[in-house]
Copies of this chain bind each other. A is one copy, B any other.
C-alpha cells in the first residue's frame, strides 16, 4: 500500500480536507446543517472509494452514514465504525491555525509533518484511513472480505441515536468484527492495541443559593455562597488516598490479578517524560496503582467544567445566585454507567447542605468493555502492526470511552477491535489538534495488512 499512498496522497489530503472543513460540531445545535452536509460528503467519498451502495439515514439526532461492499457471502465481513462529528474548537484563541481550515505543516516541537485542524485525528482523520485501505484493496483486487461502514454524528455527545438505529438494522449490520480507529497508541515507539475501554457517566450539577445575584458587601458573610458550597461538595468527592468518596462507587470494580497487572506493566512508561510533556511537578492519583493502571483499569472522577458568578474583566463584587459544574466519571468494565449515575445523584443530594438547592442533570453515559486478546481478529491486527512498526504491539487499556461500542457489542453480538493510530501529541479535544502524516500512512498500511492476515 506504501506505493499507492505515494501516488495518491495529494488526492487523499484534498478528500480528507473536504471533510475537515465542515464544522460538524455535534455539541452545538446551530451546526445541525453542517452535520447533514458532512454526512453527505462522507457518503460521496465512500462511493468514490468503491462501495456498492451508501446512504445517509435520518435518526432522532444526527444522520447515520451506512455503506457496504458485498463481494461474496462466504467471505468474512468487517464492520467499520467511526464518527464524523467533532468536539467544539474552543478556546479559539489558542489555535495557531483556523480549526476548520486544515493545513499540512510541521510540528513546531519535532519538525514532523502533520495535518492540523479539528477532526484531523478524532475521528475524521482516523476513519478516512479505512476508506483508503478499502479503496486500495478493492482497486488492486486484494479485497477478500465484505466491508460495511457505519459512521455516526453523535459520538462526542454520547451517541444518543445510534443504538436504536443499530437495533432496527441488526440484519444489515451482520459482521464478524467491528473495526474501529478512534483511539491512541501508547507512544511513538510503542504501538499498542486497545483491549478495553472505560465507561462514562457525565453529569451537570447546579447549586442555587439566593434567588438573585446579590451585592457581596451587603450579604457576604451572612448567607451561603453557592460557589463556595459547590467547591466544598467537589472537594469532598475524593478521599485522602485519591479514591472517589461516593459510597458504592468501587463495588463492581473487578480487581486485576497480579499476572494481568504484570502483563499491562510491560508497556514502557517514563514518568519523567510524562511529567515533562504535561509540565507538571508531581502526578496525583489513586493510592496503590501506577499511572497506567490509574487510566487503564481504575475508575476516576473529574470536573470537566465549572462556572458561576462574575467571570469578566476586573472586579465585580457579587454574591451569585448559582454555580455549576460538569463532572465526568470514567468507569471500568463491569461498572454500569446507570448504576454509578444513580449513586452519584443520591450522594450529591445527600451531602447537599440545607442552605442551597442542588439539581443534577444526566448528560452522557455508557459502559466500558473488554476485548479478548485471543481472538483471530486481534491476532491478525497484531501481526499487521508488527509488520508496519517493526515491533509487536502491546495490548493496552484505553482510559477514554467509546460508550456506543459496548452497546453495539451487546446488540450485535460482535466484538470490537480497536486499531487506533492517534498519539498523545495529537491533542484531540484541545486546540491545535493534529495527526502525524507518519501515523496516518502507517495506519492505512496496518489496516490493509489486517485484511490480508485475517482470513
Residues of A within 8 A of B (CB): 27-29, 87-88, 90, 156-158, 184, 198, 200, 202, 204, 209-225, 227-228, 230-232, 234-238, 278-286, 291, 294-295, 298-320, 323-326, 328, 330, 353-356, 363-364, 398-401, 424, 427-431
Q: How far is the CA of A325 from the CA of B225 in the complex (A)?
A: 13
A-B contact pairs, 8 of them (CB 8 A): A27-B316, A157-B314, A211-B278, A212-B427, A218-B400, A221-B285, A222-B291, A304-B319
**Inter-chain contact B313/A355, CB cutoff 8 Å:** no
Minimum CB distance partner of A309 in chain B: B305
Given A218-B398, A311-B326, 6 more A-B residue pairs with CB atoms under 8 Å apart are A88-B310, A88-B316, A156-B316, A202-B315, A223-B278, A234-B235
Copies of the polypeptide in the assembly:
2
Q: How far is the CA of A309 from the CA of B88 in the complex (A)?
A: 12
**Among B230, B285, B304, B309, which residue has its beta carbon within 8 angstroms of that of A316?**
B304
Given contacts A157-B315, A231-B231, A318-B429, contact A285 B222 (CB under 8 A): yes
Q: How far is the CA of A309 from the CA of B325 in the complex (A)?
A: 9
**Inter-chain contact A283/B315, CB cutoff 8 Å:** no
Contacts of A316 in B (CB 8 A): 27, 87-88, 156, 304-305, 326, 429
Contacts of A427 in B (CB 8 A): 212-214
Contacts of A198 in B (CB 8 A): 217
Most-contacted residue by chain B among A230, A309, A317 (CB, 10 A): A317
**Among B27, B314, B355, B428, which residue has its beta carbon within 8 angstroms of that of A280?**
B355
Given contacts A280-B355, A282-B354, A315-B328, contact A302 B220 (CB under 8 A): yes
Contacts of A216 in B (CB 8 A): 302, 304, 328, 330
Given contacts A223-B278, A312-B90, contact A295 B218 (CB under 8 A): yes
**Inter-chain contact A399/B218, CB cutoff 8 Å:** yes
Contacts of A202 in B (CB 8 A): 315, 317
Contacts of A305 in B (CB 8 A): 227, 308-311, 316, 318, 320
**Inter-chain contact B306/A306, CB cutoff 8 Å:** yes
Most-contacted residue by chain B among A156, A237, A316, A319 (CB, 10 A): A316
Q: How far is the CA of A214 from the CA of B231 in the complex (A)?
A: 21
**Inter-chain contact A231/B235, CB cutoff 8 Å:** yes
Q: How far is the CA of A87 from the CA of B223 in the complex (A)?
A: 22
Top-5 shortest CB links A-B: A217-B400, A221-B300, A305-B309, A235-B235, A211-B279
**Inter-chain contact A302/B228, CB cutoff 8 Å:** yes
Contacts of A306 in B (CB 8 A): 227, 231, 306-309, 311, 323
A274 to chain B, nearest CB (A): 9
**Inter-chain contact A319/B302, CB cutoff 8 Å:** yes
**Inter-chain contact B225/A278, CB cutoff 8 Å:** no
Minimum CB distance partner of A156 in chain B: B316
**Inter-chain contact A158/B215, CB cutoff 8 Å:** no
A23 to chain B, nearest CB (A): 14
**Inter-chain contact B304/A430, CB cutoff 8 Å:** no
Q: How far is the CA of A219 from the CA of B234 in the complex (A)?
A: 19
Contacts of A363 in B (CB 8 A): 314-315
Contacts of A215 in B (CB 8 A): 399-400, 428-430
Minimum CB distance partner of A323 in chain B: B306
A213 to chain B, nearest CB (A): 4
Q: How far is the CA of A22 from the CA of B313 in the complex (A)?
A: 20
**Among B283, B356, B364, which residue has its beta carbon within 8 angstroms of that of A222?**
B283
Contacts of A330 in B (CB 8 A): 216-217, 220-221
A26 to chain B, nearest CB (A): 8
